[in-house]
Amino acid sequence: MPVWVQDQCVVVSMVDQLVRKVRTGKRKSLKASRLAFGSLMTKKWSTFADPDIIRINKDLMADVLRIYRENFTGINERRFTMYCRFFNETCYAFLERGKVVGYCIFFVRPVFSYSHIYKTATLYSLAVDSDHRVYGIGKRLLQKGIREMKLNSVNCISLYVATENMPAISLYKKAGFRILRELEDVCGPGLKCYEMDLGLGQGLP
Ligand SMILES: CC(C)(COP(=O)(O)OP(=O)(O)OC[C@H]1O[C@@H](n2cnc3c(N)ncnc32)[C@H](O)[C@@H]1OP(=O)(O)O)[C@@H](O)C(=O)NCCC(=O)NCCS
């Protein structure tokens, strides 16, 4: 049918554009096509309103990047910025009196099975400004992400966390994440980290 063919063309051309953008950015750790597909999967995203948490937009980017720089070593700003652009629906900033004091970034990827395409998410980065910690901001950012992942039929959220990062591990465990295994060199050269995940009960076989 002509309409269907036209829609399909539009989707194919969007995927092409995204794949080209990702390739230009020389992404290495994820296949560009899966990233592009994941990005498309978040386009019709249902949200929960939270008066303090909004999507990261370009006006907030400088503050978000500052918090990212202050909290992590071995940073990759280009990749970070690209995730914020491609996965805008799943990149959250916590505002206090109009100022960014924390952020949480997820990306979504497809998992293909024989008969279905499932969505899985990765918590790519989470940080709260040092002056604003232990007031529940990290928990609220994480909870907002988890609730929206459930609402949008994401099967599972995974993450990597350094084995010595007790505040973060405690936060993730309280949110229901479990430790899957210990790995080396994922959080940085020579560093040990845990891979953790949270199943969201959406029926991935
Ligand atoms: C991890 C981080 C995001 C937590 O943010 P936060 O706003 O301070 O955390 P919250 O106040 O929401 O605390 C939620 C839970 O986290 C855990 N937690 C937070 N700070 C903690 C600390 N200093 N020691 C132990 N547990 C801690 C607790 O389990 C807490 O639950 P509780 O309030 O019932 O005790 C923050 O410490 C941070 O930005 N760290 C640097 C960046 C980082 O390591 N990010 C994670 C990368 S994987």
Q: What is the pLDDT of residues 49-86, one digit of tens each?
A: 999 999 999 999 999 999 999 999 888 999 999 999 99
Per-residue pLDDT band at 30 (split at 50, 70, 90):
low
- The three-point CA angle 121-124-129 to 5° equals 135
Q: What is the pLDDT of residue 6?
A: 45
Closest by Cα among 50, 72, 173, 183 to 127: 72
The answer to whether 53 and 94 are in contact (CB under 8 A) is: yes
The domain made up of 46-199 has a fold known as: Aminopeptidase (3.40.630)
Whose C-alpha lies nearest to ligand 1, atom 5? 138
Lowest mean pLDDT, pick from 24-28, 89-93, 179-183: 24-28
First to last CA, the chain: 34
Ligand 1 within 6 A of 138 CB?
A: yes
Domain boundary assignment for the chain: 46-199
User: Region 6-23: what's the mean pLDDT?
Assistant: 58
CA of 145 to the centre of ligand 1 (A): 16
> What pLDDT score does 82 carry?
92
The verdict on the CB of residue 133 being under 6 Å from ligand 1 is yes
**For the segment 108-163, what is each residue's pLDDT rounded down to a tens digit?**
999 988 888 899 999 999 999 999 999 999 999 999 999 999 999 999 999 999 99
- Is residue 54 within 8 A of residue 97, CB to CB? The reply is no
Sheet holding 154-162, edge to edge: 53-55, 91-96, 99-112, 117-128, 154-162, 192-199, 178-184
Residue nearest to atom 19 of ligand 1 (CA): 167
What is the β-pairing status of strands 178-184 and 192-199?
antiparallel
> Which residue minimizes the CA distance to atom 16 of ligand 1?
171
Confidence class for position 5, pLDDT limits 50, 70, 90:
very low
Contacts 24+ apart (CB under 8 A), 93-100: 93/53, 93/54, 93/55, 93/56, 93/60, 93/63, 93/64, 94/52, 94/53, 94/128, 94/137, 94/140, 94/141, 95/52, 95/53, 95/54, 96/52, 96/132, 99/63, 100/60, 100/63, 100/64, 100/67, 100/129
**Ligand 1 within 6 A of CB of 79:** no
Pairing of β 154-162 and β 192-199: antiparallel
Q: Return the residue whose CA atom lies nearest to atom 25 of ligand 1.
A: 167
Atom of ligand 1 nearest to the CA of 130: 39
181 pLDDT exceeds 60? yes
Q: What is the pLDDT of residues 92-102, one digit of tens each?
A: 999 999 999 99
Q: Is the pTM of this model over 0.85?
A: yes
